Amino acid sequence: MGAVFKIPARVSRLTILDQVDWLQDYKKSIDLSIKAAQQSAVDQGLAEFVTVDVERAPNKTTFIAEFGEKVFARMCKRSTRTEWRKKK
């Protein structure tokens, strides 16, 4: 099993399913660390959370040319999400 980081020796002796469980737990802890660091950067004024509008639809120009605006408006799914961005 190739990996970017080295799995501790005690983990490498476990079954592959145990390794998958360990890696998933490791990923969760990394994700939590990233979120904490991002929040710290926001608290210090170095970054910000921005709400972004998202359009989930086929290629807009091609779709409208083929099917029209009304069908596009019906098929397009719009939502928002919050993104973390560094301040410039």
- Residue 88: what pLDDT? 82
In angstroms, the CA 37 to CA 15 distance is 33
In angstroms, the CA 86 to CA 76 distance is 30
* Measured distance between the N- and C-terminal CA atoms of the chain, rounded to whole angstroms: 40
30-78 per-position pLDDT tens digit: 999 999 999 999 999 999 999 998 887 768 888 889 988 898 888 888 8
Position 1 pLDDT exceeds 50: no
Q: What is the DSSP letter of 14?
A: S
pLDDT-derived band at 6 (thresholds 50, 70, 90) equals: low
- Give pTM, 2 decimals: 0.60
Q: What is the CA radius of gyration of the chain?
A: 21
